[in-house]
Chain A
Amino acid sequence: MRYLLTILCLILIWGCRKVEVTPTPTPKVEDIFSVKETSITNGDPLKFTLKSEGVYTLTLFDSVGQQVVTRERIIGKIGENSLKLYTKSLPVRYLYLSLEDENSVQIGKTLLIIN
C-alpha cells in the first residue's frame, strides 16, 4: 500500500511539471454574428467562427413577415469561415441572417441592411 501511495505521489508530481506548450495562434475574426446589425452590399464577405466541422444552414428571412427568402446548406470548418453574400436577387432591404447546425439549433443571428 505504501508503494502504491508513493507511486501515485510520483505520478502527481510528474503531472504537475511545467510543460512548454506552443499556443495555436487565434485568428482575429470580425464575426458577423457578434454584432446586432450590419450594412452590406453585393459580394461582401460574411465571416464567422465555428467550433466544429459539419453541415450548417444559413437562412435569410424577412424582418417583418418572418418569411424565409432563401436558405443555403454549407459545409463549415473549425475556426474562421468566410462566405460571400449576393444581394442582386434579394427582394427586401432588411433581412435577418441566421446560422443553424445540423440539429437545427440556432447558433447565430443578426440583421443585415442590404444596400
Chain B
Amino acid sequence: MRNLLIFLFLFISTLGFGQQVNAPDPKEFTVNTSGQDASGFTLSGFNATSTLLCAVGLPVAPSGTTFYFSTTSGVTASTGYTMSGNKTRISFTGTMANINTVLASLKINTTGTAGDISISVSATVNPTGYYYLPINGHFYKPVSGFTGVTGFSGTTSTGYNNLKTYCTQQTFKGQAGYLMTITSADEDNFVYLNVPGSNIIFALTDNVTEGTFKIDAGPEAGTTVRIGATNQQGKYNNWAGGEPNNWGPGEDYVVTKWNGGTQWNDYGPEATAFPGGISGYVIEFGTWSNPDDQTFTDFYNNSVTHTNGPNLNLKALFNFNFGGNVDETKFLGAVHKRNDATSNWTPNTYKALNGLGRVTLSDQLDTVKVYSSAISIAAANDMTAYSETDIGKIYKMTITGNTGGGAIWGTNIYTNDSYIPKAAVHAGIVTAGQTKEVYIKIVEGLNDYPSTTQNGVTSDSWGAWGLSYQFVSEPSSYKATISAGQAEFSYVNISNGVTTLYIDLTRFGNTQPSTISKVKILDCYDGPVTYTTSDPYWAQYTVPSTLTKVTDGTSAYNSYIRNAGYNNWAFASNLGFAQNGAYKQHKFVFQNYDSTQLKTLYNSIVTVSDVYLAFKEYSEAGGIFGNGSGTQFTYGIQFKNADVNDDGYFNEKDCFALLQHLTGVKDLIGSYTLDNTMKIILDSTYGTIGKSNWQQFPSYLGKDYGFSLIDGKINYNYNLAITWKGDVNLSHSATPPSNGITTNSANFGMTIKSMSTSNGEPTAYIISQIFGDSLIATIKFNPNANSIVGTQFQINYDNSVISFSSAKYKTTGTPINFANNKGSYINLGSLNTGGELLDGTTEYQLTFKMNQKLDNSLGLISIAGNEAVNVSGKSVKIKIQ
C-alpha cells in the first residue's frame, strides 16, 4: 500500500497540471482617478513553498496609465525594479501566497483618455539568470563575455554571425533564442535596468549597406530602422549624441548601454576587433508581440481588458478554452450575419485567436435592424425544444397570460425552461387571462438571471444557464413616436385602470394602423401597445400603463398635455412611424482548418487511450466484458464524445467504431472538417452536462456558435469550451468545472507541455535498415514497471521515396494490432481491450518498398508521436531510446 501511495504521489507530482493564473472579469474604471481597485488576479496550483517569478504589465492602456500595489510585503522586486510607486510593468519573486496578497492590492491610476486597459499577469517557477518583460512576454538572458561563441574575434563579420548562430542554438522553456533586438523604449530601458555591464551588442547592423541599419535577428529581422541620418517613421532609435558616425575605418554593429549610459553607438569590428570593449550580449526568447500569445512551457499567464470610462461601443470578445494540448493560434474566427432564418449568411474577415484562445470581433457586430419574419409555432409552455442552433430566430405563438402554472427565472430575458404564459405577464406583454399572439426570440444563455417582481408576478433567480428567450416586438411591425407639436393629433383615455390611446387616422400615411406594436408618448411612455380597433377618425390602442407622468403633471412636456375632461388627456403632437425590425442574426464561425492538418491533429486527439477508456467504461457499465456501474468517465461530456455515432446512447457500437477508427478499418470522420469533429459549448452549459443528463443536450458538432444582439446590451463576452468527437479522455478538450478531477492530458503527436516521466517509464527502441529493395523498421517496446494494455506510435515516412508495404507484430495477450496507413504516416500499435498486459517482448516490424534504389535511408522514417495506455486507462508517454 505504501508503495502504491508513493507511486501515486510521484505520478501526480510529475503531471504538473493545475498551475494557472486566474483573471478577474472585465470592469469599467473612472477616468482621471487614482487608486482604483484592479484586484482579482490569483495564482493557483503552484507548490506552496516554491519561489515563483510573477510579472505584471499593461500591454494595452492609454498613455499615462499606471498601476501600483498597496501591499508589497513578502515579495522581492526583480533587479531594476522597486515594489513601491506607480509603474507600467514589474516583475518580482515570492511564494504563491505572498504574491497573491500583493496581487490582491493591485490599484490602477487612470488618465482622462478613455479606452481599453489590458492587464497581463504571468507566473512561473523562478528561472535564475533570465529576465521577463511583461510588455511583450519575452525572456532575456544576459551573458557576460563570449565563452562558447566560436570565433567571436577579428575584424570581419564572421564573429558577429557566429554570435547570432550561437544564440539560435540556445533554448529556454521550449523556445529557440536569438540575439536580442530592441524595438521600443520600454525594452531598451528594461535592458538598461537588468543587463549588467556596458556596451551590450544587439541585432542591428549596417553591414549590408553602409548607413542603412537593419534588424537582422528574431521576428523583426529585415526591418530597417534608420537610413543615413534619418530615423525611420515608427521605428525605435536611441542613438547617443553624434552617433552613428561610422568612426575610424568604419563601424557596422551597434551596442546599447554605450559607456554605461542609456543610448546606442555604432561599433566594431571595423573600428575595433571583436569583442574589444563589448562586455556581453543578451539572448532573447519569444517571437510574439502579445504576452497572451506566449507558448513557453511551464509558464502561465492571463489577462483582462478593462475600460477606462464607459464603454459606449459594443464589444464582442470570444474566449475559447481548448484545454492544454491544442495550439489556439492556429484557429481563426469571424462573425457572420444574416437578415433572418431564411437568408444566406454574410461572411466576415477571419482573425486569429491569441495564445489564450481569445479574439475580439467588436467591429464585426451589425446594429442595423432589418425587416424579419417570425416563424409560427403552436403554443408551448417553454422553449426547451430549441437549442443553440436556433439563437437569433423569432417564433410567434398565441398564448393566454397566466400568473401561476409554472416557475420563471430571470427578468426580461428568461431561461428557456421558464413558463411562457407567466413570463409574458411578468414582461408586460400580456395581462393575466389575455389571449394574444406573442413573439419570442431565442437568445444565448446568461451567467446570471436576476429575480424581480413585475406586473404582479415574481420571477426566481438562477445562475449560469445555457439558453434563454426574450419577448420581442413583431419584427415586421411599426413603432409610433408622439412628439411635441401644434395640433392635438393624439390623446389618451385613462379610466378604471385601462389606458386607451387614440391616434388621428390622417397621420398614418402608408403605415397600417394595425401594424403599430410599440409607441413612444413624449417622455411618458415607451413600450408595447395592442391595436384594438379603428373608427372613422381614430385608431385605438391599449397601453399597459396608467401613464402617471401624463396625469400628475411631472412630464417635461406638460405644456403640450391638456386635461380635456372625462378622463381624457390630449397631446399637441406630431406623429412619426418607423418599422421596428430586428437585429440581424449573428454567429461566430471558425475558419475551416486545412483538412490534412486537421487529420493529423485529430490523430493525436483520438488515440489508443480514448479507445481503451471507452471499452473500460462500457464493460464496467454491464457491457461486453463485465457488469456493474461504469466509473471511468467523470463527466457527462465524456459520454457525449464517446457516443460517436450520435444516436444518444453510448454502447458497444461506439466502442467498436472507435476501435475501427484506431485500427484504420473505418474512419470516424467522413471528411475532415471542423463541422465533423469540433464541438463548441458555452462554458456555463459545459459544466452542467452530467453523467445522468448528457443525453438531453444536443450533439454540438460544428464550428459555429450563434448569438444575437439584444437591446441595451453592450458587452458580448462569451466563454466557450471546445471539445471533440471521440475525445473520450478529454486530452484535447476543456476540463469541465467540477471538483476532483484528473483528466489524462495525453500529448500524443504534439510538442506542447509534455508531462515528465519517471525512471520507470515505458521505453521503445527504433532501428531501420535496408535489405534489398526494402526498408525494414523495427520498434521494440518495453513497458518496464508499467501495466500497459495498449500502445500507439505515429511513424512518419517520406512517401515520395518509399511506400508502406506490410506490418508484423509480436505481442502478448490477444490484442488488436494495427498499422493504419494515413498516407504520410502509419498509425501503429496494439490494444488489449480486455485488459491483458503487453510485456517487454512486444515488437513491431514495418516493411516499406523503395521507389528508387537507395544506399541508405536515414530520415525516411521517424517517430513523430507516441502514447501508451495503462490498465487504469491513463495515458503514459513512451521514452524513445
Contact = CB atoms under 8 A, between A and B. Distances in A.
Same complex: yes
Interface of A: 36-37, 46, 57-58, 60, 63-65, 67-74, 83-92, 94, 111
Contacts of A87: 859
A46 B855 CA distance: 12
B801 A69 contact: no
Contact of B856 (A64, A74, A90): A74
Contact of B767 (A65, A73, A86): A73
Contacts of A37: 165, 169
B99 interface: no
B448 interface: no
B796 A89 contact: yes
B48 interface: no
5 contacts: A65-B754, A70-B858, A73-B769, A87-B859, A88-B859
A74 B771 CA distance: 11
A94 B169 contact: yes
A73 B859 contact: no
Given A64-B171, A70-B863, A71-B768, A89 B858 contact: no
A57 B778 CA distance: 14
B623 to A, nearest CB: 37
Given A57-B767, A90-B796, A70 B859 contact: yes
Contacts of B768: 70-73
Contacts of A63: 171
B268 to A, nearest CB: 24
B800 interface: yes
Interface in B146-181: 150, 165, 169, 171, 174, 176
Nearest to B766: A71
Contact of B174 (A64, A68, A85): A64
B880 interface: yes
Nearest to B794: A91
Contacts of A85: 858-859
Interface string B846-881: 000000001111111111110000000000000111
Nearest to B825: A89
- Most B CB within 10 A of own CB, among A36, A69, A71: A71
Given A67-B880, A71-B768, A92 B751 contact: yes
B861 A70 contact: yes
Contact of B858 (A46, A64, A88, A91): A46
Nearest to B795: A89
Contacts of A84: 854-856, 858
A67 B865 CA distance: 10
Contacts, number: 88
Nearest to A36: B150
Nearest to B854: A84
Nearest to B776: A73
B797 interface: yes
Contact of A86 (B176, B824, B860, B863): B860
Given A36-B150, A46-B858, A89 B798 contact: yes
Quick one: which of A36, A58, A74, A91 has the most chain B CB within 10 A?
A91
A86 B857 contact: yes
A7 B169 CA distance: 66
Contact of B862 (A46, A58, A70, A74): A70
A65 B314 CA distance: 46
B881 A68 contact: yes
A111 B861 CA distance: 19
A89 B802 CA distance: 11
Contacts of A92: 751
A94 B801 CA distance: 23
A60 B769 contact: no
A67 B879 contact: yes
B862 A91 contact: yes
Contacts of B765: 68, 71
Contacts of A74: 769, 856
Contacts of A90: 796, 859, 862
A88 B798 contact: yes
B862 A89 contact: yes
Contact of B176 (A60, A67, A83, A94): A94
Given A68-B880, A83-B855, A111 B864 contact: no
A68 B766 CA distance: 8
Contacts of B751: 92
Given A89-B798, A89-B825, 19 more contacts: A60-B858, A60-B862, A64-B171, A67-B879, A68-B766, A70-B863, A71-B765, A72-B768, A72-B857, A74-B856, A83-B855, A83-B858, A88-B859, A89-B797, A89-B860, A89-B862, A90-B796, A90-B859, A111-B169
